[in-house]
Structures are given as structure tokens and as C-alpha cells.
Amino acid sequence: MARYLHSIPAKVIERVRGAIRLLVRLVAVGLVLWTQNGPRQRLVVVGPKRQVVSINSKIGVHTRLTDEVEEWKIQRTLSMVREMGASWVVEYFPWAYYEPSSGVYRWDHADRVVDHAIAQGQTIIARIDFVPDWARPDETTFRYLDRDHYDDYASFVAAFAERYTGRVDHIIVWNEPNLSFEWGYRLPDPVAYTELLCRTYKAVKGANASVKVLAAGLAPTLAPAGSEFGMDDVEFLEEMYAHGAGACFDGLAIHAYGLTFDPDDPADRQEINFSRAEILRDVMVAHGDSDKPCYITEGGWNDHPRWTKAVKPYQRISYTIRAYEKALEEWPWCEAVCLWAMRFPWAQRTYQDYFCFVTPDFVPKPVYTEVQHYARGEPYEYLVVE
């Protein structure tokens, strides 16, 4: 082979050597970037603050970015929320993720979510639960919180409130405590939840007096007395008031799922529908809390083709838009309607996927597009088949 090289001009050989050296350098730089940022990372810049343009200031969604690890996807999700015309987002900030060891905080993911939501012009409602291993007995679920650790939870929520002073002004204490599953597979206990709420309220106000502490959204249920699965949401709220909860929250989170009913279906104590929110509101008024606002932090309709509690896609569009209109026109006590859910990081492969406004791959569903038209004051059309 050496004798053939003598026949190649020196300039050509030098160029080849130069190209090889350049290639080696490029490969080395690529390896460094791969090591530092991972194979799928993108350069993400938190841009200047944007403004949500909408004819309805109460439009919101539950974003569910909890397990979204790629920052560009966090940014894209919240950008699409803004583009849809939603000013409010409910986001879940799990205690166990951010305080994995007692007194040790890891805020990186929460910082990214908050930074991008603020940049997109959204108001954040933070839901906080999910118990770390160190704060619960062995062989219990991550929703099991006993009285020995109420103050640990309260301290974390206070630390969260202090860190995001002026940026996150609404915090929900726990989630659906009237369900056995959400209470660590124990019988729901409104007295115990009220104690947790009051301890947390005191701690949060000591850290950030301006934050609004919201009592947890209760699961709408008609569970009979003594049910092992849950407790009627209206009865649970009444029991909370009977044990002093009224002094321990600034607003009430409400879960308002419509199931198969029109949003204008009247409120009925024996029925679960969107207007059931009015019954919870009546309880507040009866206990002298008419000055406190409510926030719908979960709710909406599902258009799965086979789920028995679903509606047709055209109905979902119509009902969703009407729900936003109803809150604006008829419910002055309701500050926001944050429906479930904007998108999941990955397909759930259950009926839950049919609650979403956008697919995991950021493909807008018809309900997203039509809400966007509504928020812009543009005509929106959907197929009506009776």
C-alpha cells in the first residue's frame, strides 16, 4: 500500500489529514454535548413574558406536567395552553419529588414548570400531595399521611409558598380526601383532613401571607354512609365546616365532571353533573363564606367511543365551551374553570386519553381547536347530530 501513496500528491494527502482531524474534533465536541445534555435535549430559553388573549378570563386547564422530563415539552405544552386562550393552569407538584429526604429540597423541575408558565402569561394553581417514603409507615401508599407527619407536610407547603412568592399565589392542600384511595386506603375522615388543612394554612401564612390557600377539591360522589370507597362530597364539606375548617382556607377547589349531562342540567343533590358545583357553593354561603371564591380545578367531559360515562365528540365540544361561558356569565363566585386535562406525557391507553385537549405528540384535538376559536371571539363550528 505504501508504494501507492507515493503516487498521490502531497497536497491531497494533507487535505485528507486535515479533514480527518476536523472530523475527530467534531466527534469529540458531539460526545461532550451528548454527555452533558443527553441524546434528546434541546436548547430551551425562557423567553419574555407573553400575554394570553381571550374573551373569557376564566378559561383554564389542568396541565399534568408532573412527569414531563424534557423541558422543551414543558414549554410547548404551556405555549399551547396560551394559544388556546387559557389564562389559568392547575399543576401537580408532588411533595415526594421535591423533598426526597427530610429537609432536602430539589426544586429543579418545579422551577422549570413555574418559569415557563409565568413566561406564557398563566396564573398557576399548585396542587400539593404525594407523601415521601420517609414521612409514612412502611407498606403504605404514597397518599397515606398520618398525624405524626402533618407538620412535615405543612412545612413543605410553606417552603414551596415561600420559594414562589409573587409567582404562585394559589395552593391546594391535598386532593380528594373524601375518597379512600386518596386518603391512603383509609376511611375518609373530614375531621382529620380539617386538622391537616388548618395546620398547613397556619404554616403557609407564616411563610407567605399573600398566597391563597384552597381547600382540596372533593371527588363528586353519591357514596352511601359508611361506604368503604368514599364519602359524599357535600356531607364531607359540611363536616369540615362543623369542625372549624372555615377559618383555614381562602377559597374552595371544586371538581366538576359533567359525565353524560349538559352543563346546564340543573344542580341536584342526588345527581353528579357540572352544576353540582352550585351545591358546594351553597354550603359555603350557608356558613358565612360568600366572600370566598371557588376554583374548578378538575372537570369536563370525555368522548371515549365505548366508555359508558362518555359523550359524543361534538357534545364534548359544545359542553366544554358552554361550561366556560357559564362560569363567566352566571357564576361570579367562580374565579377559574380548569378542566382535565391538557395532555399527558405519554398515552395512558385508557379512557383517560379522551379527557385530553392535545395528544402526547402535541396534535390538537377538535375540542382544543374549537375552544381556541371561542376564546378568540371567532365563529366555531361542530357537527350536531341528534
Residue 170: exposure state from Cβ atoms within 10 A (0-12, 13-18, ≥19) = buried
Per-residue confidence of the chain (386 residues) as pLDDT tens digits?
A: 434 344 555 554 566 566 556 564 654 445 444 444 544 556 899 989 999 999 999 999 999 999 999 999 999 999 999 999 999 999 999 999 999 999 999 999 999 999 999 999 999 999 999 999 999 999 999 999 999 999 999 999 999 999 999 999 999 999 999 999 999 999 999 999 999 999 999 999 999 999 999 999 999 999 999 999 999 999 999 999 999 999 999 999 999 999 999 999 999 999 999 999 999 999 999 999 999 999 999 999 999 999 999 999 999 999 999 999 999 999 999 999 999 999 999 999 999 999 999 999 999 999 999 999 999 999 866 544 44
At the topology level, CATH places domain 53-375 in TIM Barrel (3.20.20)
Cell of residue 245, nine digits? 375548617
Q: What is the pLDDT of residue 36?
A: 47
Q: What is the pLDDT of residue 3?
A: 41
Full-model pTM: 0.88
Cell of residue 49, nine digits? 413574558
Long-range contacts: 373-378, Cβ < 8 Å, 24+? 374/55, 374/56, 374/85, 374/321, 374/324, 375/53, 375/54, 375/55, 375/56, 375/59, 375/84, 375/85, 375/86, 376/53, 376/54, 376/55, 376/85, 377/55
Q: What is the pLDDT of residue 42?
A: 66
Cell of residue 188, nine digits? 375518609
Q: Enumerate the H helices of 38-59 as residue ranges.
A: none
Residue 97: exposure state from Cβ atoms within 10 A (0-12, 13-18, ≥19) = middle
Closest by CA position to 354, among listed 285, 318, 307, 315:
307
Q: Distance of alpha carbon 4 from its chain centroid, rounded?
A: 69
Q: Enumerate the H helices of 100-250 as residue ranges.
A: 108-119, 150-163, 190-207, 233-242
Q: What is the pLDDT of residue 47?
A: 84
Question: Which sequence spans correspond to the domains of the chain?
Answer: 2-35, 53-375
- Alpha-carbon span 154 to 202, nearest angstrom: 8
- Check: CB of residue 147 under 8 Å from CB of residue 192: yes
- Alpha-carbon span 17 to 342, nearest angstrom: 54
Q: Which letter does DSSP use for residue 201 in this model?
A: H
